[in-house]
Amino acid sequence: MSAQRVVSLVPSITEALAATRPEALVGATDWCTHPAELDVTRVRGTKNPNLDVIRSLQPDVVVANKEENRELDVRRLRDSGVTVWVSEIETVPDAFAAYDELFDDVLHWERPVWLEEARGLWAGDLPPVRARVAVPIWRDPWMVVGSRTFTGDLLRRMGFENVYGDAGGRYPKVELAELDGRGADVILLPDEPYVFTADDGPEAFRTPTRLLSGRLITWYGPSMIEAATLLRVE
């Protein structure tokens, strides 16, 4: 039987579900900002969801992600009888495999058109490297996109090589001077999770910077269609 009531604790997947079968989405986090008109019960944040509210929604399934959500919350929901599906996504192919499993085996929904469109846009061999980049995600302390991340893999498939792609951690802390001198051609400054703006971020660097939507490089779902057409090396 197909799932009729779904709670999503993952902003990317919330957008994907809303684009596929919005009437089935009954709950989402405060960080689930797309689509803008989303009108569902809010269950607080990704790291501190209100488990009582989630249970009260009587979901057929709760959708979570290993990186974005806490194992403790997943365990507590499961211990109370709630079905929770957890994805683990570190690459673009991981994202497509996760959606195939979610739609085919968990929700029992027909795969949406947007999923196949996105898959087609991201198929093919890796392009030549056109620019080396660094991607800060926080400041004070400075943190960057490191190894084994969806963001790093997506950027590589656009021709961007992450200069921290061989870092020991996924989101290592770095010193500003080291970051600025790492050898990137451009430093990409997304607007999430830290909101870098024209007045907050570029002034810290001698290396050229570029502001961009964090959603386009960190979210997996319909945003991948936009990312394939909007992300360009300038």
| All structural domains of the chain with their residue ranges | 6-121, 131-230
**Position 85 confidence tier, pLDDT thresholds 50, 70, 90:** very high
- The CATH-assigned architecture of domain 131-230 is 3-Layer(aba) Sandwich (3.40)
Interval 146-157: pLDDT, tens = 999 999 999 999
pLDDT at 231: 65
pLDDT at 229: 81
- The CATH-assigned architecture of domain 6-121 is 3-Layer(aba) Sandwich (3.40)
Residues whose CB is less than 8 angstroms from the CB of residue 125 and which lie 6 or more positions away in sequence, other chains included: none
Q: What is the strand order of the sheet 131-134 is part of?
A: 160-162, 131-134, 186-190, 209-212
Instruction: Please calculate the CA angle 32-224-24 and round it to the nearest 5 degrees.
Output: 45
Cα 36–chain centre separation:
17
Residues whose CB is less than 8 angstroms from the CB of residue 85 and which lie 6 or more positions away in sequence, other chains included: 61, 62, 63, 64, 102, 106
pTM beyond cutoff 0.85: yes
Taking each helix axis as running N to C, give the angle between helix 113-121 and helix 223-230, from 0 to 180 degrees, rounded to the nearest 10: 30
pLDDT at 230: 73
pLDDT at 222: 96
Interval 160-218: pLDDT, tens = 999 999 999 999 999 999 999 999 999 999 999 999 999 999 999 999 999 999 999 99
Residue found under tokens 């365990």? 75
**Matching CATH topology for 6-121 and 131-230?**
yes
93, 107, 222 from 29: Cα distances, Å = 25, 19, 18
Pairing relationship of beta strands 136-138 and 142-144 according to DSSP bridges: antiparallel
Interval 25-68: pLDDT, tens = 999 999 999 999 999 999 999 999 999 999 999 999 999 999 99
